[in-house]
Structure 1
Amino acid sequence: MSNDNDIGATLADICEIAAELVLPLWRSGLEVLTKADESPVTVADQRGEKLILEHLARLFPGVPVISEEHASEFGTPDAIGPRFFLVDPVDGTKAFVRGDPNWTVNIGLVENGRPVAGAVCAPPTGETWFTSGGKTMKRTKGGPAAPVHVRPWPKSGAIALVSHTMKDETKQKLMAEYGFEVPEPMDSSIKFCRIAEGGCDIYPRHGPTMEWDVCAGHAVLEAAGGTVLTPEGKPFVYGKAQDGFRNGWFVARGG
């Protein structure tokens, strides 16, 4: 990674500023609107995104940004250059609306199809994970940052993070396919971070996501020693403008 791309700590600062803006709106009974794709959106998503975009424009002028709420309102570009940001101001909006704590603020930087820097903040717990110097660092609000790393695949009791809405037969199929024993439901990109810090082992995603949902978490997990690959073991790439920045299936793993 070039020094120009070692910006995870700066992205973490922006995520935390956005978290301070958004957190008071959590569990506040705010109005939930429905986007064209039937997914929910709140004023928290909109305000958080506006703040993040302002900071990125000031600190990284000229670097394009693809962000969730802007994309849902105006569409995604037909083409994108080799270096750009992906922003999801509130990943896990459904959890946010339910009052659950597993939602995150995300900024990732892509270069030549790969995530090269990223930061993920979990406002309810004050935790932030970010890339720095080829490693992943974690800090909790008010505390110092320390490196985190994936754990080796356990001899027994491997934990997979799965969707809350996953059906039992799907869980059984994935358990047989990937060899984990404990499926644990969890929302949002925090799944990547829990694997990155060695708390869990695998996140198989056989379903739709958008690039902004996963880029920052992918960067964090990879810098912590993990992988994000297609189910066939091929690189998971970004900048899929021709597909509207939609992702295919992927598998995120620890050690």
Structure 2
Amino acid sequence: MLNIEYSELLTELREVARDAGSEIMKIYESSIDVNYKHDGSPVTLADEAAEKVILSRLKKITPDIPIVSEENTNSHKLEASNQFFLIDPLDGTKEFLKKDGLGSFTVNIGLIENGIPTLGVVFAPALNRMFFASISTGAFEESASDTKEIKIRAVPNSGPVAVASVSHRDETTDEWLTINNVNKTISIGSSLKFCLVACGEADVYPRFGPTMEWDTAAGDAVLRSAGGKVLMPNSEPFNYGKQSYRNSAFIAHGNF
């Protein structure tokens, strides 16, 4: 396993994420051509353009670290190693296609080491919100005006706030929220849900619907580095490198 200088790598990967985001926004602001995968999920020219940027740059920056990327189906056949990248070039494709003005789609770059997300970059290009983190640096948000360290918050006296999926919320999630006395929910797409918990805009993100590891790795790294936890509903560890890179249900916690 290669030794990583996390701060230097984050600097490079933020630039990569911004360049991928620029390609996404060129297509977002024009007509959008959509194809569909075998499972019926959409893939756009923006997914493909962003992936091209990320893969080519990663192969130059860290040529010896394997890459598993959503749009590269051949990479899904790779056996998980002790150190590998998980890439989702455009997370929240359904939100991207809506053009609803919410901009809740992201570029996700996550590094997994020994089953744990140790570094992550999440960039929402339509919102110009950049979240980045590692186990050695902590977690940060970079905006047009400044860069600030982010931490999970204490649950407010008014009660906890949950974030939930816009496109994939289900009955099990609603039941969990009721049982745990969570009465306020923010609905947003993509890995921004992890980041809102990480920066103290929400307190918990329960997810029972299907996700893949590239959907969660980068946001998970940001949340863990901000003091949060991601666990299975039975409180067992939520790790990476699972069969077919498929996730089970999880609860992403702040101080909840």
Shared fold by TM > 0.5? yes
The CA RMSD over aligned residues, in Å, is 1.8
Rounded Cα–Cα distance in structure 2 between residues aligned with 1:118 and 1:59: 15
| Separation (CA, whole Å) in 2 of partners of 1:84 and 1:180 | 36
Q: Is the 8 A contact 2:94 2:167 kept in 1?
A: no
Structure 1 partner of 2:139: 136
Contact persistence 2:160–2:203 (CA under 8 A) = yes
- Once the two structures are superposed, the pairs formed by residues 164-183 of structure 1 within 5 Å of their partners are 164-165=166-167, 169-183=171-185
Whether the 8 Å contact between 1:9 and 1:130 is mirrored in structure 2 is no
Cα separation, 1, equivalents of 2:18 and 2:169:
34
Q: Which residue of 2 aligns with 1:208?
A: 210
Matched letter for residue 87 of structure 1: I
From the superposition, tell whether residues 128 and 87 of structure 1 become closer, same or farther in structure 2 (CA, over 3 Å). same
Matched, 1:148 2:145: no
**Cα distance in structure 1, aligned partners of 2:179 and 2:12:** 39
Question: Structure 1 residues 168, 44: closer, same or farther in 2, change over 3 A?
Answer: closer
Post-superposition Cα deviations, 1:99-122, rounded to whole Å, max 9, x if no partner, equal 141000000000000001010000
Contact in 1 for aligned 2:168/2:209 (Cα 8 Å): no
Aligned partners of 1:169, 1:34: CA distance in 2, in Å? 26
Q: CA separation of 1:187/1:244 partners in 2, compared to 1, >3 Å: closer, same or farther?
A: same
For residue 189 of structure 2, what is the aligned residue in structure 1?
187
Fraction of identical pairs, as percent: 39
Relative distance call for 1:19 and 1:231 in structure 2 (3 A) is same
* TM superposition score normalised by structure 1: 0.92
Note closer, same or farther for the CA distance 1:254–1:31 as it changes in structure 2 (3 Å cut): same
Change (3 A) 1:99 1:86: same
Aligned to 1:98: 98
Instruction: Specify the alignment match of 1:224 in structure 2.
Output: 226
Q: 1:154 to 1:16 in 2, by over 3 A?
A: same
Matches within 5 A, 1:74-93: 74=74, 76-93=76-93
Unaligned runs of 5+ in 2: none
* Map of 2:42 onto structure 1: 40
User: How far 1:3 sits from its partner (Å)?
Assistant: 6.3
How far residue 238 of structure 1 moved from its aligned partner, in angstroms, is: 0.5
Letter in 2 for 1:235: P
Partner of residue 237, structure 2 = 235
The question of whether the paired residues in 2 share the 8 Å contact of 1:210 and 1:247 is answered with: yes
Partners of 1:11 and 1:5 lie apart in 2 by 12
| Equivalent residues of 2:88, 2:107 under 8 A apart | yes
**Structure 1 residue 252 and structure 2 residue 252: aligned?**
yes
